[in-house]
């Protein structure tokens, strides 16, 4: 059997803040400066933000894999509550606890910087959200995605996607979905020694087992010892690119609509 | 210390053991596990062979222990005089009954949330034991001696100032009447040291500074006052050769980690292996794997003391798979470079010169825009223990195949904060892992057992022809030590970030490993 190593990378990354194994590891993410020029605790916090937070929340805190932090924050409104979020994470989301990698003082400083970001005006998406909703419906997005309880289940639920992802990330997810690597949606291809090949989303994997959901929604529990090959397709997504079908102002309108999806999640 | 690697057979080894090493080491042959790595040579090799290639498929859990608190257990338990001692984070020790897994006592040091752990988790990796006293380092920088029967404190000694980032996570090592303990804090700009304390009183006997002060040998490798916050932490347990009376201890990265502008020079003795006279605390030799390290490639990996024939000559070696991607064999009497070769993907050096110094590829330093380098800053291996089997003459290494984009930023020292000068972005999705078997005579790969992600689990080999290790995905498994073929596995339900060990209880061989926040103990059916 050709053994192709596959990683629960995003799941692991979300569950264990990177600096948590830095004696061992260290800090992470881009060091580029932000537009803000904070002072005191917030100035020290900016360094921590660059190292620990920017790879999700964007170099200027304006969103990416994680939400835009400009404007009113969804889960915290006071300095104390921001400290709580950084310390404990947000259950049910990708926001992990930083209790382990950061000290109380560092968390306080990072929180002060995040609070300074939240006082900056939120940039609204450029497009027309109402028209974006029509684009969403016209293109059949609901066949795979659920919003507020309605839609398909093959792709990620979008009920609160606007509160969890920045606009640039959402735009890329539409035109180049394979580049955005939605957590938990890695495409794998398994060839069995007998029976047809299985291609789909990797639900789980350990050293000896892999669970795959195929495009029909069927779940396959496979023992690796019974596979002749197992390949992960890092550059693939079960979602097709919509670049040729949704572009220009339609794309901006769709992104604007997605950013308005901030339902409880 | 086991002797199998030094003599032709285990029988001869046992005889030599009685003469040279005394009763304490003999007990290890009786199914105990008396120190973090199992023995002074750090082979993490169990001489027990009831569990073997032909019956390991029947291995079953017999009990599970869950300590108070939360978080991964990163401890290797020790077993002495019929009791297991295991630790959990931030600083907690439990004494367990071997048959039932029930706690005889639990001791917890109150660790305030304000206690610093800059650059590592709030964990503890194990204890040392001698003459009825259990020794444990604390996250807030103390060494504590506990009565082994009752868990009551006998003495407490201050080792390092926690407000400046000093902490202890490593298991101490007891040699004769000395307790040797290392220090963490390499991301906080500490000046590293290794300490020895009197086992009975806790009085400090010596301190070896891993970064020399002005005028001392090696100080020429530090410009200005850069040595003051020069790093060189000693955050993992080392090895010991009783015949040479030498400790072999790895040292960590220089500070700041990723920005070397303020510390131009080799930065001795960081990212090095240092051989220290256990009586005087003086260095006899050193070998620096990564001069002027700017990738956080600590050299704290556990060194294995091995005697082997290399190039037709019997050599007393210390071998180590370094975080920088190269495997090294050194003469452990002199520190002379014997051989070295890459054992994992690395993109920063063309190779090693005839002294073992890396021939570096220009442009691989961290930069403002980011520089892609293999291995990642977690290294091609990390603190997870390797193992050496005298039966196969192979070294088994937990290997991390991963690259990182390294960034460099300005930094200045502020007490009790990160002093790193950069960061990394790991290439998680392209990464994988392995248990890799290397021929100790050459460092060449014999076999690979691939893992879905770069592991944090240690490796143990046994006289039963087995290699035990774990995965981030929760699998605890046994491989054929000769071929790497998987023979058994158990899903623990939590990431395995600890080292396996083995012991006898009631005449039966047991194997233990921590997965998630639980300690699992296995045995064959009665």
- Span of B129-138, B166-175, B343-352, B421-430 with lowest mean pLDDT: B421-430
Distance, in angstroms, between B26 CA and closest chain A CA? Answer: 34
Nearest Cα residue in chain A from B119:
A22
Q: How far is B194 from chain A (nearest CA, A)?
A: 17
pLDDT band (50, 70, 90) for residue B11: very low
B contacts of A186 (beta carbons < 8 Å): 429
Question: CB within 8 A of A91, min separation 6: which ones?
Answer: none
The residue that leads in pLDDT, B407 or A8, is B407
Q: CATH assignment of A187-233, given 1.10.1420, 2.30.30, 3.30.460, 2.60.40?
A: 2.30.30
User: How many angstroms separate the CA atoms of A249 and A246, rounded?
Assistant: 9
Chain A positions touching B486 (Cβ under 8 A) are 207-208
pLDDT at B23: 39
CA distance B354 to chain A (A): 29
Judging contacts by C-beta atoms under 8 Å, the chain A residues touching residue B475 are 206-208
Substitution target in A16, A18, A26 with the highest count of B β-carbons within 10 Å is: A26
* SS3 label, residue B437: strand
Query: Which secondary-structure segment (H or E) carries B134?
Result: strand B133-137
Q: Do A5 and B451 touch (CB under 8 A)?
A: yes
Q: Looking at residue A124, what is its pLDDT?
A: 65
User: Residue B187: which of A20, A22, A47 has the nearest Cβ?
Assistant: A22
Which of B258, B425, B431 lies closest to A7 in CB terms? B431
Question: Is residue B236 scored above 60 in pLDDT?
Answer: yes
Q: Do A9 and B258 count as a contact with CB atoms less than 8 A apart?
A: no
Q: What is the pLDDT of residue A102?
A: 63
- Does residue B296 have an active-site annotation? yes
Of B114, B423, B450, the CB nearest to A27: B423
Domain A129-175+240-259, CATH: 1.10.760.10
CB pairs under 8 A between A and B: 150
The beta-carbon neighbor of B409 closest among A31, A103, A181 is A31
CB < 8 Å & 24+ apart, contacts of B203-210: B203/B157, B204/B157, B205/B178, B205/B281, B206/B280, B206/B281, B207/B281, B208/B274, B208/B276, B208/B281, B208/B282, B208/B283, B210/B234, B210/B251, B210/B269, B210/B270, B210/B272, B210/B274
pLDDT at A5: 37
CB contact under 8 A, B450 and A5: yes
DSSP state of B69: S
Select the more confidently predicted residue: B23 or A260: A260
Q: What is the pLDDT of residue B84?
A: 98
Phi, then psi, of A135 in degrees rounded to 5 = -60, -45
Q: Which of A25, A30, A181 sits opposite B378 (nearest CB)?
A: A25
**Main-chain phi, psi angles of B92, to 5 degrees:** -145, 135
Q: Are strands B460-462 and B466-470 parallel, antiparallel or unpaired?
A: antiparallel
Task: Name the residue range of residue B362's domain.
Answer: 31-523
Q: Examine residue B10 and state whether it is found in any structural domain, yes or no.
A: no
Rounded CA separation A10/B416 (Å) = 30
Residue B194 confidence (pLDDT) above 50: yes
For B76-128, how does the pLDDT look when each residue is reduced to its tens digit (9 = 90+)? 999 999 999 999 999 999 999 999 999 999 999 999 999 999 989 999 999 99
Element (H, E) at B470: strand B466-470
| A50 contact residues in B (CB cutoff 8 A) | 409, 423
Name every chain B residue with its beta carbon within 8 A of the beta carbon of A17: none
Cα distance between residue B118 and residue A149, in whole Å? 43
Domains A9-118 and A187-233 share a fold: no
**A25–B377: do the CB atoms touch at under 8 Å?**
yes
User: pTM higher than 0.80 for the full model?
Assistant: yes
Query: Using the beta-carbon criterion (under 8 Å), do B475 and A206 form an inter-chain contact?
Result: yes
Q: Does some domain include residue B192?
A: yes
Segments making up each domain of chain A, as ranges: 9-118, 129-175+240-259, 187-233
B432–A25 CB contact, under 8 Å: no
Among B3-7, B169-173, B244-248, B329-333, name the one with the lowest average pLDDT: B3-7
Q: Do A21 and B378 touch (CB under 8 A)?
A: yes
Which of A261-265, B43-47, B283-287, B486-490 is least confident?
A261-265
pLDDT at B348: 98
**Under DSSP, is residue B522 helix (H, G, I), strand (E, B) or coil?**
strand
pLDDT of residue B369: 78
Q: Check A26 against B368: CB less than 8 A apart.
A: no
Place of tokens 């932090």: A69
Which tokens sit at B446?
């014999």
What pLDDT is stored for residue B24 in this prediction?
40
Q: Indicate which of A22, A104, A181, A184 best probes the interface with B, i.e. most B CBs within 10 Å of its own CB.
A: A22
Closest Cα in chain B, distance from residue A61 (Å): 17
Q: Do B452 and A207 touch (CB under 8 A)?
A: yes
Question: What residues of A are in the B interface, CB distance below 8 Å?
Answer: 3, 5-10, 12-13, 18-32, 44, 47-48, 50-51, 55, 99-101, 103-106, 181, 186, 205-208, 234
Give tens-digit pLDDT for B206-217: 999 999 999 999
Per DSSP bridges, beta strands B466-470 and B475-480 are antiparallel
SS3 category, B11: helix
* Chain B residues touching A26 at Cβ < 8 A: 119, 187, 257-258, 296, 377, 420, 423-424
- Provide the CATH number for the domain around residue B208: 2.140.10.10
Average pLDDT rounded to a whole number, residues B213-229: 97
Which of A13, A28, A205 lies closest to B424 in CB terms? A28
User: In terms of pLDDT, which residue wins out, B492 or B25?
Assistant: B492
Residue B330 placed within a domain = yes
Q: Which chain A residue has the Cα nearest residue B431?
A: A7
- Give me chain B's average pLDDT, please: 93
Q: Which of B266, B293, B296, B298 is catalytic?
A: B296
Q: Chain A residue closest to B123 (CA)? A: A100
Q: CB of B178 within 8 A of CB of B240?
A: no
Q: How many angstroms away from the CA of A202 is the closest CA of chain B?
A: 12
Provide the CATH topology of domain A9-118.
Answer: Cytochrome Bc1 Complex; Chain D, domain 2 (1.10.760)
**Helix A248-259 crosses helix A167-175 at what angle (to 10 degrees)?**
130
Residue B7 lies in a domain: no
Q: Does residue B395 lie in a domain region?
A: yes
State which residue of chain A sits closest to B384, comparing Cα positions.
A24
pLDDT reported for residue A37: 54
**DSSP structure string for A71-138:** SS-SS--SHHHHHHHHHH--TTSS----TTTS-HHHHHHHHHHHHHHHTSPPPPPSS-HHHHHHHHHH
Closest partner residue to A9 (CB to CB) among B377, B420, B429 is B429
* Chain A positions in Cβ-Cβ contact with residue B118 (cut-off 8 Å): 103
Is position B3 within any domain? no
In this structure, of A57-66, B299-308, B459-468, the range with the lowest mean pLDDT score is: A57-66
For residue B292, pLDDT beyond 60: yes
Q: How many domains is chain B partitioned into structurally?
A: 1
pLDDT block averages, 10 residues each, chain A of length 265: 34 32 38 49 86 82 85 88 92 75 77 92 80 96 95 92 87 90 87 92 96 94 95 90 94 94 72
Which among A20, A28, A105 has the least Cβ separation from residue B423?
A28
């Amino acid at each position: 059997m050709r053994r192709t190593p596959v990683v629960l990378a995003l799941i692991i990354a979300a569950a264990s803040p990177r600096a948590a194994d830095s004696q061992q590891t260290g800090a992470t993410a881009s060091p580029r400066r932000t537009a803000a020029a904070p002072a005191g605790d917030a100035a020290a916090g900016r360094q921590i933000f660059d190292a620990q937070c920017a790879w999700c929340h964007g170099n200027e805190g304006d969103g990416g894999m994680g939400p835009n932090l400009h404007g009113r924050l969804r889960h915290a409104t006071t300095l104390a509550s921001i400290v709580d979020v950084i310390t404990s994470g947000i259950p049910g989301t990708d926001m992990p606890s930083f209790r382990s990698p950061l000290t109380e003082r560092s968390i306080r400083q990072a929180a002060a910087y995040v609070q300074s970001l939240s006082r900056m005006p939120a940039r609204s998406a450029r497009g027309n959200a109402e028209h974006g909703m029509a684009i969403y419906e016209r293109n059949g997005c609901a066949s795979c995605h659920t919003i507020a309880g309605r839609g398909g289940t093959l792709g990620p639920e979008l009920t609160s996607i606007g509160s969890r992802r920045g606009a640039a990330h959402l735009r890329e997810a539409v035109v180049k979905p394979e580049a955005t690597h939605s957590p938990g949606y890695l495409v794998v291809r398994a060839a069995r020694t007998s029976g047809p090949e299985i291609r789909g989303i990797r639900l789980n994997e350990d050293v000896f087992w892999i669970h795959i959901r195929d495009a029909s929604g069927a779940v396959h529990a496979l023992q690796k010892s019974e596979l002749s090959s197992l390949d992960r397709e890092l550059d693939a997504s079960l979602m097709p690119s919509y670049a040729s079908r949704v572009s220009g102002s339609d794309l901006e309108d769709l992104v604007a609509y997605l950013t308005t999806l901030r339902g409880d999640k | 210390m086991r002797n199998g690697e030094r003599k032709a057979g285990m029988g001869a080894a046992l005889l030599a053991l009685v003469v040279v090493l005394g009763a304490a080491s003999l007990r290890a042959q009786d199914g105990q596990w008396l120190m973090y790595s199992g023995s002074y040579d750090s082979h993490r090799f169990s001489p027990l062979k009831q569990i073997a290639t032909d019956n390991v498929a029947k291995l079953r859990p017999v009990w599970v222990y869950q300590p108070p608190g939360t978080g991964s257990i990163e401890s290797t338990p020790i077993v002495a005089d019929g009791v297991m001692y295991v630790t959990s984070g931030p600083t907690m020790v439990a004494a367990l009954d071997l048959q039932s897994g029930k706690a005889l006592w639990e001791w917890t040091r109150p660790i305030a949330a304000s206690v610093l752990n800059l650059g590592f988790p709030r964990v503890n990796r194990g204890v040392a034991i001698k003459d009825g006293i259990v020794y444990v380092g604390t996250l807030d920088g103390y060494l504590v001696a506990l009565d082994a029967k009752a868990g009551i404190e006998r003495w407490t000694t201050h080792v390092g100032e926690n407000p400046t980032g000093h902490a202890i996570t490593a298991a101490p090592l007891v040699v004769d009447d000395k307790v040797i303990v290392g220090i963490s804090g390499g991301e906080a700009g500490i000046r590293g040291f290794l300490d020895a304390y009197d086992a009975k009183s806790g009085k400090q006997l010596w301190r070896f500074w891993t970064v020399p002060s002005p005028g001392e040998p090696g100080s020429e490798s530090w410009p200005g006052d850069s040595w003051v916050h020069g790093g060189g932490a000693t955050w993992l347990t080392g090895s010991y050769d009783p015949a040479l009376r030498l400790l072999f201890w790895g040292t960590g990265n220089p500070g700041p980690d990723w920005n070397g502008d303020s510390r131009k020079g080799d930065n001795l003795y960081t990212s090095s292996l240092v051989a220290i006279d256990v009586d005087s605390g003086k260095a006899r030799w050193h070998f620096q794997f990564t001069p002027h390290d700017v990738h956080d490639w600590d050299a704290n990996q556990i060194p294995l003391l091995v005697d082997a024939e290399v190039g037709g000559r019997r050599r007393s070696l210390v071998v180590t798979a370094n975080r920088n991607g190269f495997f090294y064999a050194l003469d452990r009497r002199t520190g002379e470079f014997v051989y070295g070769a890459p054992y994992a993907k690395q993109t920063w050096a063309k190779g090693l010169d005839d002294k073992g110094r890396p021939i570096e590829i220009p442009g691989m330093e961290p930069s403002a825009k980011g520089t892609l380098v293999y291995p990642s800053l977690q290294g091609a291996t990390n603190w997870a223990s390797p193992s050496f089997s005298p039966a196969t003459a192979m070294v088994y290494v937990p290997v991390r195949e991963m690259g990182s984009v390294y960034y460099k930023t300005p930094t200045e020292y502020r007490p009790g904060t990160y002093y790193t000068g950069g960061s990394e972005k790991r290439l998680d999705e392209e990464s994988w892992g392995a248990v890799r078997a290397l021929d100790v005579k050459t460092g060449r790969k014999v076999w690979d057992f691939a893992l879905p992600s770069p592991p944090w689990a240690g490796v143990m080999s046994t006289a039963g022809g087995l290699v035990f290790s774990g995965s981030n995905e929760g699998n605890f498994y046994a491989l054929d030590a000769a071929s790497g073929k998987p023979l058994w596995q158990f899903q623990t339900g939590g990431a395995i970030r600890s080292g396996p060990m083995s012991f006898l209880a009631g005449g039966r061989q047991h194997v233990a490993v921590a997965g998630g926040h639980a300690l699992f103990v296995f045995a064959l059916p009665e």
